[in-house]
Amino acid sequence: MGKTLSKDLMAGPVSAVPVLVSVALSSFMVALDVTALNVALPSIGHDLAAGMDRLQWIAGAYTLVFASLLLSAGALSDRLGARKVFLFALWVFISASVACGLAQGVVELITARAIQGIGAALMLPSSMALLVEAYPDPKARAKAVALWGGISALALVSGPLLGGMLVEMVDWRSIFYLNVPFCLIALGCCAARNSRLAIQPRSIDWAGQLFSTLALLSLIFALIEGPVWGWSNAWVIMMLLVALVSGTAFIYSQQTQHEPMLPLSLFESRTFSAAIGAGFLQTLAYYGSLFVLPFALQGQGRTPVEIGLAMIPMTIATGVMASLSGRLSNAFGARSVGAAGMLCGALGAALLVLYGMDRISLVFGGLLIGLGGATLPVIVGACLASVPSGKVGVGSGVLNAARQCGGVVGIALLGASLEGPGRATAALSIIALSFLAAALLTVLRLYTDAVDVVSEC
């Protein structure tokens, strides 16, 4: 199988490998930034004298901007050229990472994290477009996506331990500086191969761009600050109203536009809609676990390295099983594999609720939660299989926007539940329920034979 994989991955026009390396590295950086940063948040809070509300913004500002710009970034990639947008995104990400490392205050760090979000939002849809172009054959593309997903999972495996080691041996700033060499390698690989992807000669849907960005931005802002300021706060209510009005205007504009940025016909697919919902819930639960556990363990007096070591069972389970998810889906069906993994995640969170976070419970609970996190390739495969080939960029943009919204909702809900003694139990209960809801949605709605073909690796 390894020979077949290598042969297929080398089968792209000219040589697609530099594109795959560049795309995989960009995904690795984005994932590493999440997992390593979560371990560093307690140290950042101590160093910059930041409370939980500010730490939520350090973690959430990136996701806020990232999620709100994904749809717009996908449209710009189609119209301006994926390679051009991807290279620009890498430079933005490099600059923002350096700014994060140099930040001397909370406001500076939050601002730099927001700029990182801009770079990541431009990077993701353009990288997927480059990967689709580099591997036009569906089977070779599926294996390339599997390899890309495996490298992303490597960041989940190495992030907590690497972050803990960097914080303890150097400082939290080194986590951001680590992005620079990876970005430079990705730049070199992408620049080494010219893109042949045609730029679509369509007008930019400015109304859709404006309304989608405003709706997502205001909604996520309200979700982050609602638990902190209170849901009756005037600013929170105003942001929710802005999100409602902007979202309504966006849907109307997409119905009336001749060339909308988001064809609403995509949601007629039951599998596509289920993948979007499952992606939201799965990310809420899994990224919520990565956010909650370091704080809960810090409350037990664990050091950064001990916290990183405690997270290893969860992230290893995610990395290993994510790389096997394609073959498992081919053998047992994407619906069965996805639902089983999410049920394992729910069971793992419930185990930590019932038995606490001693070493044995952390190992078994972490392994089970990691299996829930490993279902992401199944969700992505289902989404891409249900979308027409000419709308893959937009479809993946919707999925990733939903996932990022899930991450922010998780940070908002779980961060608020961590305020006060013994509240980790409430946070873990929310995680268990989210995994369970994702499993039910997968069982009831995720029906398609095409998913198993796309998920094959």
Tell whether 145 and 289 lie within a shared domain. no
Tell whether 172 and 250 lie within a shared domain. no
405 is in which domain, residue-wise? 263-457
Tell whether 349 and 411 lie within a shared domain. yes
Tell whether 301 and 186 lie within a shared domain. no
Tell whether 272 and 180 lie within a shared domain. no
Tell whether 430 and 281 lie within a shared domain. yes
Spatial neighbors of 262 by CB under 8 A, at least 6 apart, are 71, 208, 212, 254, 394, 397, 398
Tell whether 267 and 409 lie within a shared domain. yes
Tell whether 102 and 178 lie within a shared domain. yes
Helices (H), 81-178: 82-102, 106-134, 138-169, 173-177
In a domain, 168, yes or no: yes
- Among 132, 162, 191, give the residue marking a domain's end: 191
**Residue 237 predicted with pLDDT over 90:** yes
In a domain, 444, yes or no: yes
Indicate the pLDDT class of residue 365, thresholds 50, 70 and 90: very high
Tell whether 58 and 170 lie within a shared domain. yes
Tell whether 287 and 396 lie within a shared domain. yes
Tens of pLDDT, residue by residue over 301-357, are 787 778 878 888 887 888 788 777 777 877 787 788 889 999 999 999 999 989 888
In a domain, 399, yes or no: yes
Tell whether 33 and 105 lie within a shared domain. yes
**Residue 147 predicted with pLDDT over 80:** no
In a domain, 372, yes or no: yes
- Domain count for the chain: 3
**Residue 52 predicted with pLDDT over 80:** no
Tell whether 252 and 306 lie within a shared domain. no
CATH code (residue 308): 1.20.1250.20
Helices (H), 192-269: 206-229, 234-256
CA gap 171, 175 in Å, rounded: 8
* pTM for this entry: 0.78
Long-range contacts of 56-59 (CB under 8 A, 24+ apart): 56/224, 56/228, 56/411, 56/412, 56/415, 57/106, 57/110, 57/224, 58/106, 58/109, 58/110, 58/113, 59/291, 59/411
- Among 152, 168, 191, give the residue marking a domain's end: 191
In a domain, 342, yes or no: yes
- Do 253 and 205 contact (CB within 8 A), yes or no? yes
**Residue 379 predicted with pLDDT over 80:** yes
In a domain, 451, yes or no: yes
- Among 134, 168, 191, give the residue marking a domain's end: 191
